[in-house]
């Protein structure tokens, strides 16, 4: 049932863009920014909600707990897949500098779906990265030297926390590689994929400064 969220998210984001572009007469860049801001805010809120609801599982189960144990995280992941599929069209045509980021994000979501793990970790990844994205959107709406310095300061703090969280993920990967899967069930490639994509995601997000 959750997979219906993917086409619904794609249709919603596409519809918001068309309303902004054709209905309100906004330019392409402004229309895309509006849709992105909507996604940033909604995904951040849902990510924080998932983190709160499953807070007792974050320390041990975030990376390799079965996705179906965390329905809010799955809902967020499918919402994100729909959005990134929509936005990849825009990126491919107008804004190729974000293509690597989108490829890493979609790869992370796709492998999580295939392995049925890492959904909760992705929910935490989402709210942390979307906080930074909202900061960037706020800066774009108020471009000035002071706003840029403020953005860089807060963005740096969010990325330092993201680095800390990435170390937590890598620690969970190390645990299952060192001591075996234990209570978890996942494909043999999942820990290596989780570690590599987490490092890539951290690196890509760090380049936006």
Q: Tens digit of pLDDT for each residue in 142-183?
A: 778 887 888 888 888 888 999 999 999 999 999 999 999 999
pLDDT tens, position by position, 84-108:
999 998 888 877 777 887 888 898 8
Dig out the tokens for 32 from the structure.
């895309």
Whether 81 and 134 have beta carbons less than 8 Å apart is answered as no
Token pair 């969010």 in the structure block, residue:
158
pLDDT tens, position by position, 105-152:
898 899 999 999 999 999 999 999 888 888 877 777 677 888 788 888
pLDDT tens, position by position, 44-86:
999 999 999 999 999 999 999 999 999 999 999 999 999 999 9
Helix (H) or strand (E) holding 166: helix 145-179
Using CA atoms, how far residue 9 sits from 39, 128, 157, 190, in Å, is 10, 20, 30, 26
Dig out the tokens for 52 from the structure.
């709160």
Check residue 141 and give its pLDDT.
67
Using CA atoms, how far residue 20 sits from 13, 32, 137, 176, in Å, is 11, 9, 17, 47
């Amino acid at each position: 049932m959750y997979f219906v969220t993917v086409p619904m998210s794609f249709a919603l984001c596409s519809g918001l863009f068309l309303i902004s572009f054709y209905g309100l007469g906004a330019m392409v860049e402004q229309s895309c920014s509006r849709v992105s801001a909507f996604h940033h805010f909604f995904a951040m809120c849902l990510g924080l909600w998932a983190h709160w609801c499953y807070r007792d599982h974050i320390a041990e189960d975030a990376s390799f707990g079965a996705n179906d144990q965390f329905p809010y995280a799955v809902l967020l992941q499918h919402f994100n897949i729909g959005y990134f599929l929509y936005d990849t069209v825009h990126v491919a045509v107008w804004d190729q500098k974000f293509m690597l980021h989108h490829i890493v994000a979609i790869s992370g979501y796709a492998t999580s779906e295939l392995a049925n793990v890492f959904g909760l970790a992705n929910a935490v990844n989402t709210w942390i990265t979307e906080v930074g994205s909202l900061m960037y959107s706020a800066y774009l709406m108020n471009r000035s030297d002071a706003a840029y310095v403020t953005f860089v300061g807060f963005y740096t703090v969010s990325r330092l926390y993201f680095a800390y969280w990435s170390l937590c993920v890598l620690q969970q990967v190390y645990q299952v590689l060192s001591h075996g899967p234990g209570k978890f069930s996942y494909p043999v490639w999942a820990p290596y994929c989780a570690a590599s994509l987490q490092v890539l995601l951290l690196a890509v997000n760090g380049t936006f400064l």
